[in-house]
Amino acid sequence: MIKEITERHSIRKYKEEAVNKEDIKKIIEAAILAPSAKNRQPWKYIVFEGASKDQVLDIMEKGLVRERDEHQTLPESHGGLPDAFNTLRIMKEAPVLIMVENTNGQSPFEPISADDRITEICDTLSIGASIQNLLLAATELGYGTLWIANTCFAYKELSDFLGIKGQLIGAVSLGLPDESPNPRPRKNLDEIVEFR
């Protein structure tokens, strides 16, 4: 497992080859073995390939363009839009797109109580653990992945289109890698660990 943890890197260039459905299922089976707060398992994975992937990414593109040109739902994050368009390009290239829903969540544009925020934090952490399992299982099977949060700029368009009743967490692109990027820098242990 340390091998997959070390070898996993975000992949932003993919080969065209489709991914075997059995492998997609194996990867998601690893995802659902993650721990979750109160064992709520608040995740749902929606897999898109081919024309259905193109359709959902067209919707995302509409949302990004709307966010750029008209109504800014995330005004303070406007500077992140060029990166979001770049992420969209990568998502189009990857043969598989997995959208991730927090089935227990609500739209981030709705007000939230402190109690619900705590629950949401726990559910988000649970889904993060599940996504990491997914990435590591994909790495073990020789696939590349990209964890994506840039869906947030098209939150309304995507959640309407997908019929999300909970909260759209983000997405993962999956496919055979067509690059082997160098590891991104990490903070030193001394910087982030405190032994008391």
Ligand X SMILES: Cc1cc2nc3c(=O)[nH]c(=O)nc-3n(C[C@H](O)[C@H](O)[C@H](O)COP(=O)(O)O)c2cc1C
Q: Is the dihedral of CA 43, 123, 120, 114 positive or negative?
A: positive
* Nearer residue to ligand X within complex by CB, 118 or 149: 149
Query: Taking the mean position of all CA atoms in its chain, how far away is CA 180?
Result: 20
The neighbouring-strand residues paired with 175 are 144
| Binding residue (CB under 6 A) for ligand X from 69, 111, 115, 184 | 184
Distance CA 147, CA 165 (A): 22
Query: Is 10 a residue that touches ligand X (CB under 6 A)?
Result: yes
- Smallest CA-to-CA distance from 94 within 181, 196, 11 is with 11
Contacts (CB under 6 A) with ligand X, residues 134-163: 146-150
Binding mask 78-107 for ligand X (x = CB under 6 A): ---------x--------------------
Compute the least distance from the CB of residue 134 to ligand X, in Å.
12
Computed over its alpha carbons, how large is the radius of gyration of the chain?
Answer: 17
Compute the least distance from the CB of residue 96 to ligand X, in Å.
16
Compute the least distance from the CB of residue 12 to ligand X, in Å.
6
Query: Is 119 a residue that touches ligand X (CB under 6 A)?
Result: no
Q: What is the DSSP string of 89-135?
A: HHHHHSSEEEEEEETT---TTS---HHHHHHHHHHHHHHHHHHHHHH
* Nearer residue to ligand X within complex by CB, 36 or 139: 139
Compute the least distance from the CB of residue 5 to ligand X, in Å.
10
| Binding residue (CB under 6 A) for ligand X from 9, 60, 101, 120 | 9
* Nearer residue to ligand X within complex by CB, 25 or 155: 155
What does each C-alpha distance from 177 to 1, 54, 94, 95, 190 come to in angstroms? 19, 20, 9, 11, 33
Compute the least distance from the CB of residue 19 to ligand X, in Å.
19
Distance CA 63, CA 33 (A): 33
Compute the least distance from the CB of residue 21 to ligand X, in Å.
25
Q: How many residues lie near ligand X (CB under 6 A)? A: 9
Binding-site ranges for ligand X (CB under 6 A): 9-10, 87, 146-150, 184
